[in-house]
């Protein structure tokens, strides 16, 4: 993807529209830092303060660059990665990106560490920690829940859309999944504005499960007539970097994958 297209992608994504996706103060800080480093032997505290100052400078630099480029991007969080001079940047409404410490370059995609038997995504733990907080704030009554049969061994959160073929395929396996002791909590994530009414109708139904069964089979449901969390859940997905459905997460905020068979899902949860 070219840099121009990247900028357009970010700008469009952050415009707040529902785009169709595939189913798949510095002086005071300086004074505080000088005081701390001059009088306190706790060099770890000084180092932490210095890092926080570096992050604040990077945020200001990126915000200025975004403004210059006409990108309406809101930075939620910035954290250093294990890669020297590379920071993980959590942006509202899109997938996280990386930024160099001078704020001159953004990198989209994954940064992988080599050397072990398995490849390691350097931002996985950072993104998962942010996702875990988001998921923990959800209210069960705002979700579509399929309890585990017998003892609950695992809980998964699944961003879903009734119009998505792979969501349909996953949904067909719900009895097998729950039989393995896995509770499934669906989060509404319509893949485009045109799919919003159907998901709102499901969430407004007295029996969400029955309504979802009908909607995912292609039935036309009555128009929604209640206040519902569908748009908020869609925004949650954007904040977590969801760009397609199904998107499956465990309770620790780790992304497990898109469509997974019951056996694959169980294996990933156990690992």
At residue 178 the predicted structure's pLDDT band, cuts being 50, 70 and 90, is very high
Domain with 11, as residue range(s), is: 3-123
| Number of other CB atoms surrounding residue 76 within 10 Å | 12
Q: What is the pLDDT of residue 42?
A: 53
E strand or H helix at 257, and its extent? strand 255-257
Higher-confidence residue of 72 and 171: namely 171
Residue 22: beta bridge partners?
none
The active-site residue out of 142, 161, 185, 204 is: 161
Mean pLDDT calculated for residue range 74-97: 89
Higher-confidence residue of 59 and 42: namely 59
Compute φ and ψ for 105, nearest 5 degrees.
-130, 140
Q: What is the pLDDT of residue 236?
A: 93
Mean pLDDT of the chain: 84
Compute φ and ψ for 154, nearest 5 degrees.
-145, 160
Alpha-helical runs (H) found in the chain: 3-13, 26-39, 43-69, 124-136, 165-172, 174-179, 196-204, 208-216, 230-240, 262-270
- Residues 115, 152, single domain; the answer is no
What digits encode the pLDDT tens for the residues 179-210? 999 999 999 999 999 999 999 999 999 999 99
Q: What is the pLDDT of residue 243?
A: 86
**Is residue 23 annotated as part of the catalytic site, yes or no?**
no
Q: What is the pLDDT of residue 44?
A: 61
The active-site residue out of 57, 191, 204, 226 is: 191
* Residue positions counted in the chain: 271
**Is residue 161 annotated as part of the catalytic site, yes or no?**
yes
| Number of other CB atoms surrounding residue 176 within 10 Å | 15
- Residues 143, 206, single domain; the answer is yes
Last residue of a domain, one of 69, 90, 123: 123
Q: What is the pLDDT of residue 7?
A: 41
**Is residue 226 annotated as part of the catalytic site, yes or no?**
no
At residue 5 the predicted structure's pLDDT band, cuts being 50, 70 and 90, is very low
- Residues 139, 256, single domain; the answer is yes
212 burial (CB, 10 Å; 0-12 / 13-18 / 19+) is buried
E strand or H helix at 75, and its extent? strand 75-80
- Residues 165, 86, single domain; the answer is no
Q: Return the structure tokens found at 64.
A: 């200025």
- Residues 55, 180, single domain; the answer is no
What digits encode the pLDDT tens for the residues 219-267? 999 998 899 999 999 999 988 889 899 999 999 999 999 999 999 999 9
- Residues 42, 153, single domain; the answer is no
Last residue of a domain, one of 65, 96, 123: 123
Q: What is the CATH classification number for the domain harbouring 44?
A: 3.10.450.70
Give which of 137, 135, 157 is closest to 146, Cα–Cα. Answer: 157
- Residues 31, 67, single domain; the answer is yes
Q: Is the dihedral of CA 46, 47, 51, 52 positive or negative?
A: negative
| Number of other CB atoms surrounding residue 14 within 10 Å | 18
- Residues 113, 138, single domain; the answer is no
Mean pLDDT calculated for residue range 135-144: 96
Q: What is the pLDDT of residue 53?
A: 87
Q: What is the pLDDT of residue 38?
A: 36
DSSP letters of 124-185? Answer: HHHHHHHHHHHHHT--GGGSEEEPPSSS--EEEEEEE-TT-HHHHHHHHTHHHHHHTTEEEE
- Residues 65, 186, single domain; the answer is no
Total structural domains in the chain? Answer: 2
At residue 141 the predicted structure's pLDDT band, cuts being 50, 70 and 90, is very high
The active-site residue out of 167, 204, 231, 232 is: 167
Evaluate whether 167 touches 23 at the Cβ level (below 8 Å): yes
Last residue of a domain, one of 78, 102, 123: 123
Q: What is the pLDDT of residue 43?
A: 58
Residue 129 lies in a domain: no
- Residues 216, 262, single domain; the answer is yes
Evaluate whether 187 touches 158 at the Cβ level (below 8 Å): yes
Residue 264 lies in a domain: yes
Residue 128 lies in a domain: no
100 burial (CB, 10 Å; 0-12 / 13-18 / 19+) is middle
From residue 153, give the alpha-carbon distance in Å to each of 145, 156, 164: 15, 10, 27
The active-site residue out of 5, 113, 142, 164 is: 164
The yes-or-no verdict on residue 94 having pLDDT over 80 is no
Q: What is the pLDDT of residue 2?
A: 41
**Is residue 167 annotated as part of the catalytic site, yes or no?**
yes
Q: Is the dihedral of CA 216, 133, 229, 97 positive or negative?
A: negative
Q: What is the CATH classification number for the domain harbouring 229?
A: 3.40.30.10
- Residues 220, 244, single domain; the answer is yes
- Residues 152, 85, single domain; the answer is no
């Amino acid at each position: 993807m070219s840099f121009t297209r990247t900028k357009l992608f970010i700008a469009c994504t952050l415009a707040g529209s529902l785009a169709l996706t595939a189913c798949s103060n510095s002086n005071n800080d300086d004074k505080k830092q000088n005081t701390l480093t001059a009088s306190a032997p706790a060099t770890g505290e000084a180092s932490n303060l210095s890092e926080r100052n570096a992050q604040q400078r990077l945020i200001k630099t990126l915000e200025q660059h975004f403004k210059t480029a006409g990108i309406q991007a809101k930075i939620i969080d910035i954290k250093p990665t294990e890669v020297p001079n590379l920071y993980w940047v959590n942006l509202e409404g899109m997938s996280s990106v990386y930024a160099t410490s001078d704020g001159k370059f953004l990198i989209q995609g994954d940064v992988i560490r080599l050397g072990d038997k398995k490849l390691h995504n350097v931002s996985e733990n950072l993104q998962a920690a942010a996702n875990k907080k988001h998921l923990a704030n959800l209210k069960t009554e705002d979700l579509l829940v399929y309890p585990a049969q017998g003892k609950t061994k695992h809980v998964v959160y699944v961003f879903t859309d009734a119009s998505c073929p792979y969501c349909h395929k996953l949904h067909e396996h719900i009895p097998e999944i729950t039989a393995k002791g896995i509770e499934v909590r669906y989060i509404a994530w319509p893949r485009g504005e045109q799919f919003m009414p159907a998901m709102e109708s499901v969430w407004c139904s007295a029996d969400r499960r029955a309504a979802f069964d009908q909607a995912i089979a292609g039935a036309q449901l009555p128009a929604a007539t209640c206040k519902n969390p569908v748009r908020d859940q869609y925004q949650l997905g954007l904040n977590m970097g969801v760009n397609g459905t199904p998107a499956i997460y465990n309770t620790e905020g780790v992304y497990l994958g898109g469509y997974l068979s019951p056996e694959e899902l169980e294996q990933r949860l156990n690992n």
